[in-house]
Amino acid sequence: MNLITVLQGIAMGVAELIPGLNAATLALVLGIYEKFIDILFQISQLIKTGFAVIILRRGKWSEVKAVAQAIPWGFGISLCIGTLIAVIGLSQLLHTLLDIAPQYVYGFFFGLILASISVPWASIHKKESLHYILFIVSSIVFFGVFSLTPTELVASPSYGYIFIGGVLGVASMLLGSGGSTVLVAMGLYQYILGLVGDIVGLDFTALLPLIVFFSGLGVGFLLFINLIKKALASYHSIIMAIITGILLASLRAMWPFFEVNDKSYILQTPWDSEYILGIGISILIGIGLIAVFKKYSDKV
């Protein structure tokens, strides 16, 4: 197990808990994006090969063994351990903070996203007019998508809705927008955080809906990882331009100036908010944290 990779996994796990940010963006900041996508693709191939051999009785065990041996397990396990540490250790804290001081939490998230926008854009070495057009178009389209965020949180979603949230969440993560942002837009974010917190607190009534959610994540992962892998190989700069637009648009989902009224978020302008100073400080803290990641990305 590699300690540096575990720390990278912790950072990426925290990113997946943050609406608008994601593990893929943090992987870009940390300089391990290509390795991250590659290992996800290899794992999907192992799952598909294993399914064909075990369930469908097609192929040989030697094929499964060959695919498994090609996976850099040390990197993958270390990254997974770090991610689990972040998700299990911080989900309940985030859930509590969202109940106590949601404006400050969203302000911190807003700063993180704002400071991360330049990361995918900087990876485009030769910027052309097409990249600018895709950036503008994706910004406008996804601003509209994130504007559909419900004003009321979903307290008791159906299993089908939870499953769809998992599928769309992982698809969004792989496409460059945080999976958490989709959960916010669907009104599921705090609900899922609460489930994880319940499991940590040994309340196993949350186990079934959480299994349904992770099943959705698994299905979405298998459906979309091949597409993302091929798209990155052939259209890397185009994908990065689109990701930049999605990140900019996701600031809409994390607008921190609002008041809470019976679990509904009512948007405000900054000068109407009594929390303006605290929110401003929260935004600066988020920006500062990403600045540190950028500065030490080759050392972390």
| 255 within a domain of the structure (yes/no) | yes
3-state secondary structure of 110: helix
Judge if pTM exceeds 0.85.
no
Tally the domains of the chain.
1
| 300 within a domain of the structure (yes/no) | no
State how far the Cα of 42 lies from the Cα of 54, in Å rounded to an integer.
Answer: 18
Q: Which domain holds residue 26?
A: 3-295
Helix and strand element counts for the chain (H, E): 14, 2
Nearest to 189 by CA among 4, 7, 16, 42: 16
The larger pLDDT score, comparing residue 293 to residue 10, is at 10
Task: Lowest mean pLDDT of 197-206, 219-228, 242-251, name the range.
Answer: 197-206
When pLDDT is averaged across residues 145-161 and rounded to a whole number, the result is 69
3-state secondary structure of 207: helix
| 226 within a domain of the structure (yes/no) | yes
- % of the chain exceeding 70 in pLDDT: 86
Here the contacts of 123-130 (C-beta below 8 Å, separation 24 or greater) are 123/28, 123/236, 123/237, 123/240, 124/237, 124/240, 124/241, 125/237, 126/237, 127/237, 130/238, 130/241
Q: What is the pLDDT of residues 105-144, one digit of tens each?
A: 888 888 888 888 888 888 888 899 999 999 999 899 888 8
Q: What is the pLDDT of residues 37-49, one digit of tens each?
A: 888 888 888 888 8
- Give how far Cα 175 sits from Cα of 93, 104, 115, 231, 232, Å: 27, 27, 19, 10, 10
- Quickly tell me which residue has 């001081």 as its tokens: 101
Q: What is the pLDDT of residues 60-119, one digit of tens each?
A: 888 888 888 888 888 889 988 988 888 787 777 777 887 788 888 888 888 888 888 888
| 143 within a domain of the structure (yes/no) | yes
Secondary element (H or E) of residue 121: helix 118-122
